[in-house]
Structure 1
Amino acid sequence: MKTIISALLLLSIFASSSTLVVGLVSCRPDQIQALTHFKNEFDSSDCNQTDYFNGVQCDNLTGVITKLQLPSGCFHGTLKLNSSLFGLHHLRYLNLSYNNFTSPSLPSGFGNLNKLEVLSLSYTGFTCQVPSSFTNLSQLSILDLSHNELTGSFPPVQNLTKLSILKLSYNHFSGAIPSSLLTMPFLSILDLYQNNLAGSIEVPNSSTLSRLEFMYLGLNHFEGQILETISKLTTLKYLSLSFLNISYPIDLNIFSSLKSLVMLDLSDNNLLESSLDSHSNIPLSLEDLVLLRCGLIEFPNILKNLQKLEHIDLSNNKITGKVPKWLWNLPLLRKVNIFNNSFASLEGSEEAFENSSVRYLDLAFNSFKGPFPKPPLPIILLSAWNNSFTGNIPLATCNRTSLTVLDLSYNNLTGPIPRCLSNVQESLVVVNLRKNNLEGSLPDMCYEGALLRTLDVGYNQLTGKLPKSLLNCSSLKFVSLDHNRLGDTFPFWLKALPDLRVLTLRSNKFYGPMSLPDQGPLAFPKLRIFEISDNNFTGSLPPNYFVNWEATSLQRNEDWRIYMGDYNNPYYVYEDTIDLQYKGIFMEQGKLLRSILTSYATIDFSGNKLEGQIPESIGLLKALIALNLSNNAFTGHIPLSLANITELESLDLSRNQLSGNIPKGLGSLSFLAYISVAHNQLKGEIPQGPQFSGQAESSFEGNVGLCGLPLQGSCFVPPTQQPKEEDEEEEEDQVLSWKAVVIGYWPGLLFGLVLAHVIASYKLEWFGKIVGPDKYKQVDPVRLFMTLDSRWDSFNNKNNVEQTKK
């Protein structure tokens, strides 16, 4: 009873939650105290205290800690040699993975925990060699040191005779693999992927037979003799030999003795061409065969013999001709990836997949022509983008009730979008029909319960208005309707979509005001990419237009990456694509963009008939990296609040009717790589600094009153003139007006409202009339994959800056 009371007392002191953590009830007070001392050795400000103690288990009889699993990303700091951790001698399970230990090396103190059965230290940042004290861990059955910066020769694990799982991948171990490793009595999983291991392995003369079932040796520097050794490991079921860097082609017949082999990965190796024909001897037990980037030029007929095959990956090869019809008749085939080859046709034409059991099919980036065949009946993912398929979208697509991802973009398909796609709304998550020749109106595809998250029909010939039924797709994140002939007013009603991140309406026939009298701020709180350029939108934008956006602060994932949608699952990853006017260059963003939904935002209102002042509330969008308001009729001064957008990389305000000076505060934007204020009514000296000195002269031309570099000539102000004081007063007025508007927007601050009203009443002369904007030419984009990543460094050079729109 006394033990329980002491435990609860300590828990109340060191845990932030008042909820009892059941695992600690049986712990001795000294053990909880040691655990708390360990926690206090690190910065654990990102750690939920309850989660920390939830990873603890104690023996019900002795009260000693037997299990410790830290929450991911919880600890930061140095794991010292005298850490309290190494005093927990009764630990049997220790998992410190995914924490940031800045220790100069892997501490030898782990060797004190000689009762450990499981030790996981992956993604912990440890460096240097594995200490010899690890030989004391004689009870270990699982050791995971993967994804660190460990060096030296192979770790001293040969004496750990109870090991069943050894994971050393993604480190810098060098030298040879000890031959005794193959005769360890319980070792079944060996993962050495991506190290600097070399040489070959000799199978020792021993009565103990290897029990290895999983072996991952890719991305090392082994010699060819290793294949002969592997062929003797007859218990193998899963074998990965990608990037072996062997000097001669691999003969698939060498694996004929591996009768239990289920998975074989030979990616990025050269294969002996004759061993790919139907007469070769390869394990008939294979279910998963990966031959990615193997330089294949012909379809491997060896697949015809693999009646148990479920997954084949032939992507990124150079195979030409037809895909044989017999492939689709393999009875258990579920996943086929032939992405990025040079296939010209499917044998069997429109009925090629008629009896196929395939569920995941990737035909993208080939040279397929002719009508698109009817999809396999059980299809879940169908990707065929960047081919030359013609004709209509098969109506049979609507009967594939498991269809989740439909990507037929970048083809030559014609006709209407089938209205019957609403039949698969209960499974359909992605519809991408971009860059075809589809016509007609956008059909109703969303009814109550629809799961659609991505709708991309850009670059077609669609007409009519947007169907209000889109509101039924409450999960929509990505809507791209650009480059069509849609004619409608701005869809303010889309604000009801709670998670809309991307909205592109560029180059259509949309018209009317972008702000309604009773609308107030633009109510799209999660929008990150807002693209409405080259339409006929009119009117002015109120000062508080951008106040409601959540793009006011940076929010990054732990790994600084996020995809456009949550489409990841064990079988596929779908990645959206978008094209932007960025740094003066019109381009399609593929792999060049990452993190954009989490960390950054872009706005493009160019090529419309918007007038009035640019809203000062634009300065609230701290995550904005690209802003394009060019080719409108905006008047007044450039907002001083732009200096608050510290992430801004591209700013285009050209071809408007802006007046006054260029704010000096823009010179403090350290990421600003492109700026254009050409063809306005600006005056005064161009601010000097690295953000301006590297710009082209064309970025400032067409402003009679502007002077200073990079324009020719210098600034000269006659002594009798005093424009500086007058300009400063105007800038002060803008700042006061802006602050009053922002303060006035927040509830309860009446004084701010009154001040905003008074100051704004003196600014009526800032509004002007508009003239039609010049249109600019656009470069046809090139399709790329898109994983969204930090900013586009490859476009930050001076050559790209020169490529401004004409």
Structure 2
Amino acid sequence: MPTCFRFLFSDLLVLFLLLLTASLSSPHPLCHQDESLALMQFMDSFIIDNHTFLSSCYPKTASWRVEAEHGRSDCCSWDGVECDPHTGHVIGLDLSEGCLHGSINSNSSLFRLSHLLSLNLAFNDFNYSKIPSTIGNLSRLTNLNLSLSFVSGEVPLEVSYLSKLSSLDLSYNYNLFYIGSLTRLVQNLTYLEEILLTGVNISSKVPESLANLSSLRTLKLDDCGLYGEFPIRIFQLPQLRVLRIANNEDLTGQLPEFHSSNVLQALSLYYTNFFGSIPNSLWNLTQLTVLYLSRNSFDDLSCLTKASSNHTFPHLQYLGLFSLNLTKFPNFLQNQNKLVQLDLSKNNIQGIIPKWMFNASKENLQDLYLSNNFLTGFEDSRDVLPWPNLRTLDLQNNRLQGSLSISQIPPSIEYLYLSNNLLIGFENSRDVLPWPNLQRLDLQNNWLQGSLPIPPPYVQYYRVKKNAFTGEISPLFCNRSSLYVLDLSYNNLSGKLHPCLCNLSQSLIALELRSNNISGTIPNAWAKGCRLKVIHLNHNQLQGQLPRSLANCKELEFLDVGYNKIHDTFPLWLGNLPELKIFILRSNGFYGAIRNIQINCTLSNLHIIDLSHNNFSGDLPAECFQHWNAMKLFGAEVFQYLDYNSSIRYSITLTTKGIELEYARIQDELIVIDLSCNRFEGEIPEVVGNLKGLHILNFSNNALSGRIPSSLANLTGLESLDLSQNKLFGEIPPQLAQLTFLEIFKVFNNCLTGPIPHGSQFERFPNSSFDSNPGLCGMPLSKACGDSLPKPPNEENQGLVSPFEFGWKVVAIGYGCGFVIGIVIGQWVIARKQDWFVNTFRIKK
């Protein structure tokens, strides 16, 4: 090579290296000042809530201020912020799970970040604010994720104009709705690869034009209120991998023939109304790992029940076939070795669980749901179930018989559901159940006998009600510090409650011991911070006083100690329980007046109070009635149960409409006051008429006097009113005829007078409702109303008049009248029959 070229090459090489070094050493462009300011203003519009619904949230924006305070104003280095490496513009913002709480409004500085390509604000709490229309300013967006962010209202039209979107995720915002057809969305957003709208209220048909989105990879429209027939062409989209349209009960359709080129990996159709046959070509979906066909209207299941063992099946991991009217275990399960979850519940599968099932997914199976069938047991009950990683075994509502072999259940079990079977006991029983990972144990409604099985240390739910367990409750239960629910109801347990049960007050939310033979006193060491919401102790032999330390259980909603032998005055400390909804002291030995309450008798959330069959005396607690605010609301806006946001089911027994009924669940609008069978006296307070939500009011079997207040006509939802067996006088207020829902009305054994009100309801009540009120007249009584009605007692002295005094006066009048008539008749006899009188009554010597 000539020397000149050699030098030229060397010079060029040096120049190239210098340029390369300069380019590598030059800093990336800094974040633009206006965008940095916009981010800071966006951050300041929210508060950081570390106690949000998402326990794993991480406050990314908290670090922004720290960065700025230390002079690091380059927002490109901030947590969750991504910048273009060439221009420095903010192109990505990921604040998902960011502990943000507050509202997004149309003036938010967020919408000044016009270069954004990706925006992820999922798993925050935006306080049910609307998605602002100014989101249309972010016209370059390719990814928008607002899932589970508590936004509400209508999805703005401007979203459908973000024409570059490839991924749209608004899922799990159940107060969000989309007006109109999805057609508009599909026509404008032709680059979409992911549509995730689970839980958004769409309430429309699925447009055929969705099948034109050739790039679509994921379509999730679960629980959207969709209806009509699902377009069959969507199944054939060339890139579609995930199709979820479950929980749309009015959505119909048929499954197509599937080709081997189809790349579907997840197909979820449960709780829809697909019909026809399940095609054998389903098994051509070789990449399928998730399949949920449950609760549809398929009429041909031979694809599942008669699949050839020579066929090649996809390696399923999650399989849901519940509520399909299967009568046997699908034989293709023999060829599945990757299953993690299998659900065959709510079918008609009968007999034993075949041994070949033990070969299904031995190493992988974690959750097995077989509830609500007619299964009687395992083919070989001596073998340990062969699934070493089994976490969930659900066999409730079957016909399992005999003794349960404890050694058969693998030690990996976490959730064991065996309720509603015919089990009578345990084989190989031990002092403590040998399942160290067990969290939930449900043995309800069997015939299990013997001592209570002691759960392992970390159990959370322990339910064994409606069995025949005997003996005492072991103090070992007191060491189960994770225990959340303890339900031992409807057994034959005896002995006393150990004081150490109070050790569980920081974890336990429900203590259910009703219908046993437990004696002694209720433990009285419930500490501050007590988390109890439900205490259900009725139908036992408990004595002593109601423990004052329960005042520390500020979250208590349900307290039922009825049908015991508790001897105490009214618990004034109840006013310290602001959440109390149900309070029952029925059939005990409570006594004394309910007085001096004032501020202690708030109970603004109280729905049901039953103090019946005790020895309470004095006036009715008018001060309390004034503070029972929940009883003043008529009708519920939304139908729900009192336990709607609880994992515990509230159930009680009440005397309603003259019949003792058990309420398995309690509607939110059921309002009840039962103070019957006590010794209350005085008048019925007018303020009772303010409790407009009342359905059942029972003041019977007391010593109440005075008139029936006309304000009771304000109780327009009242269904049962029992004022019988008191000392009430005066007329029945005619305004009560306005109570159109009233089915039961009882005022017998009082001193009422005057006409019975006219009205459709009153004409249907039997005569017995009005018995032993001699002054009443009119329908339905046979006694017509006239002018000569008995006068009521003097109102000024009514407190001194009793039914016994009234009866004495009647007897005296009778004797007086009889004496006068006797004298008159005697004079007549002596005058007319003198000889007969002398012969009859002469004195014999």
Higher relative contact order (CA 8 A, sep 6+): 1
* Number of the residue aligned with 1:244: 324
Report the more deviating stretch, 460-469 or 683-692.
683-692
* Number of the residue aligned with 2:186: 111
Query: SS of 1:485's equivalent?
Result: coil
Structure (1 or 2) with the larger CA radius of gyration: 2
Aligned 1:154-173 pairs, distance under 5 A: 154-160=231-237, 161-173=239-251
The offset of 1:433, in angstroms, is 0.7
Query: SS of 1:611's equivalent?
Result: strand
Distance 2:562 2:513 in 1: 12
* Number of the residue aligned with 1:177: 255
- Aligned partner of 2:499 among 410, 419, 425: 419
Letter of the structure 2 residue corresponding to residue 95 of structure 1:
L
* Number of the residue aligned with 1:717: 786
- Aligned partner of 1:315 among 396, 404, 411: 396
* Number of the residue aligned with 1:535: 614
* Number of the residue aligned with 1:703: 773
The offset of 1:523, in angstroms, is 2.5
Contact 1:361–1:381 (Cα < 8 Å) also in 2:
yes
Distance 2:280 2:347 in 1: 22
Letter of the structure 2 residue corresponding to residue 633 of structure 1:
A
Contact 2:289–2:318 (Cα < 8 Å) also in 1:
no
Query: SS of 1:618's equivalent?
Result: helix
The answer to whether structure 1 residue 651 and structure 2 residue 721 are counterparts is: yes
* Number of the residue aligned with 1:512: 592
The offset of 1:480, in angstroms, is 0.8
- Aligned partner of 2:415 among 329, 335, 338: 335
The answer to whether structure 1 residue 485 and structure 2 residue 565 are counterparts is: yes
Letter of the structure 2 residue corresponding to residue 500 of structure 1:
L
Aligned 1:142-541 pairs, distance under 5 A: 142-146=219-223, 148=225, 150-160=227-237, 161-180=239-258, 184-203=262-281, 209-227=286-304, 232-246=312-326, 249-251=327-329, 253-271=331-349, 273=351, 275-277=353-355, 280-284=358-362, 285-299=364-378, 301=381, 304-328=385-409, 330-349=410-429, 351=431, 353-354=433-434, 356-516=436-596, 519=598, 522-541=601-620
Distance 2:206 2:634 in 1: 36
Report the more deviating stretch, 521-530 or 445-454.
521-530
The answer to whether structure 1 residue 594 and structure 2 residue 667 are counterparts is: yes
Letter of the structure 2 residue corresponding to residue 661 of structure 1:
E
* Number of the residue aligned with 1:803: none
Letter of the structure 2 residue corresponding to residue 131 of structure 1:
P
* Number of the residue aligned with 1:93: 168
Letter of the structure 2 residue corresponding to residue 286 of structure 1:
L
Contact 1:252–1:275 (Cα < 8 Å) also in 2:
no
The change in CA–CA distance for 1:54 and 1:288 in structure 2 (over 3 A counts) is farther
The change in CA–CA distance for 1:167 and 1:183 in structure 2 (over 3 A counts) is farther
Distance 2:718 2:151 in 1: 29
Query: SS of 2:375's equivalent?
Result: coil
* Number of the residue aligned with 2:657: 583
Contact 2:753–2:775 (Cα < 8 Å) also in 1:
yes
Stretches of structure 2 that go unaligned for 5 or more consecutive residues are 1-32, 46-101, 116-124, 805-845
Aligned 1:55-134 pairs, distance under 5 A: 57=135, 62=140, 74-75=152-153, 89=163, 92-93=167-168, 95=170, 98-99=174-175, 106=181, 108-114=183-189, 115-116=191-192, 117-120=194-197, 122=199, 124=201, 126-127=203-204, 129-134=205-210
Distance 2:197 2:264 in 1: 18
The change in CA–CA distance for 1:697 and 1:763 in structure 2 (over 3 A counts) is closer
Q: Deviations over 1:210-252 (max 9, x none)?
A: 3332434334324222315698543321111111124xx3235
* Number of the residue aligned with 1:36: none
The offset of 1:633, in angstroms, is 1.2
Q: Deviations over 1:246-302 (max 9, x none)?
A: 4xx323543022211011111122336465237853221211111111101235647
Distance 1:261 1:16 in 2: 43
Contact 1:633–1:771 (Cα < 8 Å) also in 2:
no
Letter of the structure 2 residue corresponding to residue 706 of structure 1:
L
Distance 1:698 1:192 in 2: 55
Contact 1:110–1:133 (Cα < 8 Å) also in 2:
no
Distance 1:669 1:347 in 2: 60
* Number of the residue aligned with 1:23: 110
Query: SS of 1:494's equivalent?
Result: helix
Letter of the structure 1 residue corresponding to residue 184 of structure 2:
G
Letter of the structure 1 residue corresponding to residue 691 of structure 2:
L
The offset of 1:425, in angstroms, is 2.3
Contact 1:583–1:650 (Cα < 8 Å) also in 2:
yes
The change in CA–CA distance for 1:525 and 1:306 in structure 2 (over 3 A counts) is same
The change in CA–CA distance for 1:121 and 1:90 in structure 2 (over 3 A counts) is farther
Contact 1:182–1:210 (Cα < 8 Å) also in 2:
no
Contact 1:218–1:240 (Cα < 8 Å) also in 2:
no
Query: SS of 2:250's equivalent?
Result: coil
Report the more deviating stretch, 163-172 or 652-661.
163-172
The change in CA–CA distance for 1:71 and 1:448 in structure 2 (over 3 A counts) is closer
Distance 2:717 2:178 in 1: 29
The change in CA–CA distance for 1:243 and 1:545 in structure 2 (over 3 A counts) is closer
The offset of 1:406, in angstroms, is 0.6
Distance 1:176 1:182 in 2: 19
The offset of 1:375, in angstroms, is 2.2
* Number of the residue aligned with 2:842: none
The change in CA–CA distance for 1:204 and 1:471 in structure 2 (over 3 A counts) is closer
The offset of 1:384, in angstroms, is 0.5
The change in CA–CA distance for 1:66 and 1:372 in structure 2 (over 3 A counts) is closer
The offset of 1:497, in angstroms, is 1.7
Stretches of structure 1 that go unaligned for 5 or more consecutive residues are 29-46, 569-573, 731-761, 773-806
The change in CA–CA distance for 1:492 and 1:764 in structure 2 (over 3 A counts) is farther
The offset of 1:162, in angstroms, is 3.6
Distance 2:800 2:622 in 1: 15
Contact 1:554–1:622 (Cα < 8 Å) also in 2:
yes
Q: CA RMSD in A?
A: 3.8
Matched residues, number: 689
Contact 2:141–2:164 (Cα < 8 Å) also in 1:
no
Contact 2:324–2:347 (Cα < 8 Å) also in 1:
yes
Distance 1:704 1:145 in 2: 67
The offset of 1:627, in angstroms, is 1.1
The change in CA–CA distance for 1:168 and 1:438 in structure 2 (over 3 A counts) is closer
Letter of the structure 2 residue corresponding to residue 146 of structure 1:
D
Letter of the structure 1 residue corresponding to residue 400 of structure 2:
I
Letter of the structure 1 residue corresponding to residue 652 of structure 2:
I
Q: Deviations over 1:6-29 (max 9, x none)?
A: xx9xxx9xx99989534333369x
Contact 2:606–2:631 (Cα < 8 Å) also in 1:
no
Q: Deviations over 1:511-561 (max 9, x none)?
A: 000223x63784222211111100000001365441111225448887522
Q: Deviations over 1:381-424 (max 9, x none)?
A: 11000111111111211121211111101110010011111222
Q: Deviations over 1:625-668 (max 9, x none)?
A: 11111111111122222222222222111111112222233232
